[in-house]
């Protein structure tokens, strides 16, 4: 049997948990009976709740899964955590074949789930659509393998790469459709990050459950729109306390700028496993070397103004070969705008 389409369904199911499963991965599951008929699906809804395999199997009460096949995009867990081991339940339910998209990079699992299934006499088929499965859980993979927060940038520009007019005017470069997609992108990340400059210029709301504000000299008004919801982490150079619902975090400075390496490490220690940066050209540029992914919306407009603000403005180079290099992996259309999604080739 070809399992590609069923694995794609697992990935689609898994995406329903976006924004709710961290620090756990996104996982979806499909169960077939012994004749190859689909009889159940499941996914990991929320951190602390049932994993995808358990979600799918516990919907079945008449033993129809016995001798059947279970398809899942990530190796079943083999240890007790918030829930019991999925591998044990799969064995108990009499599943004959397990199809896996990718091995788990969590060292607690890391092949142990596969070995447990095989020891119980279950046939295990590995690495089905492995590349797509790894892309789905790129945040989890970085968290586990590097012990670092995954960083993405969202920016929006004109065709000539401008994010605002010379006087700072930037509303609105892109269309309503593009801005609706931004809301969906935000939901995939544990926190959004911006700067005092962006707050002072635009007074954005940026609705999200967690927000990281970089305000070195505490210039922003704490009554600004952005402070009205969510957990706030305010990185600055003077205060280190919790007050008025805001976590003030004293931060070291490098070249008169807040130390980004310190901020990203602190974020990881605080349990923030992924960050979406929504800021101006200077932070976009400075954080580029730590960035794993970029969402770049482009509107079919040209300013033609050399003094207009650009997407990434943080240095001067004399040789074009000193540019940062990226690989564009996806192009989407949100009429009349497009969204380029790209990854750094090297950092």
Question: What six digits make up the tokens of 34?
Answer: 């012994």
d(CA 276, CA 264): 12
Question: What six digits make up the tokens of 127?
Answer: 């690495």
Pick from 105, 116, 119: which is nearest to 79 by CA? 116
What single DSSP character describes residue 277?
E
Instruction: With residue 285 as reference, give the H or E element that holds it.
Output: helix 281-286
User: Quick check: is 53 catalytic?
Assistant: yes
Question: What six digits make up the tokens of 99?
Answer: 């199809």
Which residue is catalytic, options 5, 18, 53, 256? 53
3-state secondary structure of 155: strand
Residues 6+ positions from 310 with CB-CB distance below 8 Å: 157, 161, 162, 163, 281
| DSSP characters over 14-55 | HGGGTTTSTTSPP-EEEEE-TTS-EEEEEE--STTS--HHHH
Catalytic positions: 53
């Amino acid at each position: 049997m070809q399992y590609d389409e069923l694995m794609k369904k697992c990935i689609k199911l898994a995406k329903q948990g976006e924004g709710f499963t961290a620090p756990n991965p996104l996982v979806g599951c499909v169960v077939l009976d012994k004749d190859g008929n689909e009889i159940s699906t499941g996914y990991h809804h929320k951190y602390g709740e049932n994993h995808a395999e358990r979600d799918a199997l516990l919907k079945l009460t008449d033993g129809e899964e016995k001798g059947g096949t279970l398809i899942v995009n990530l190796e079943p867990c083999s240890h007790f955590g918030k829930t019991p081991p999925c591998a044990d339940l799969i064995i108990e339910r009499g599943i004959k074949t397990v199809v896996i998209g990718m091995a788990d990079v969590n060292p607690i699992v890391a092949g142990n789930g596969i070995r447990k299934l095989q020891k119980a006499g279950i046939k295990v088929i590995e690495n089905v659509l492995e590349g797509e499965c790894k892309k789905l859980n790129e945040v989890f993979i970085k968290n586990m393998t590097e012990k670092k927060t995954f960083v993405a940038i969202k920016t929006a520009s004109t065709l000539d790469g401008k994010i605002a007019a010379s006087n700072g005017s930037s509303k609105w470069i892109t269309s309503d459709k593009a801005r609706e997609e931004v809301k969906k992108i935000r939901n995939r990340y544990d926190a959004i990050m911006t700067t005092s400059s962006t707050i002072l210029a635009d007074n954005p709301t940026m609705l999200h459950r967690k927000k990281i504000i970089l305000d070195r000299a505490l210039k922003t008004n704490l009554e600004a729109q952005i402070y009205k919801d969510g957990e706030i982490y305010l990185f600055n150079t003077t205060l280190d306390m919790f007050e008025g619902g805001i976590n003030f975090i004293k931060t070291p400075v490098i070249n008169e700028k807040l130390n980004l390496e310190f901020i990203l490490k602190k974020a990881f220690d605080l349990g923030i496993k992924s960050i979406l940066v929504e800021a101006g050209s200077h932070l976009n540029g400075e954080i580029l070397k730590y960035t794993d992914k970029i969402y770049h919306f482009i509107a079919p407009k040209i300013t033609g103004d050399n003094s207009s603000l650009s997407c990434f403005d943080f240095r001067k180079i004399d040789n074009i070969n000193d540019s940062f290099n990226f690989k564009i992996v996806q192009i989407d259309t949100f009429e009349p705008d497009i969204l380029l999604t790209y990854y750094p080739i090297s950092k």
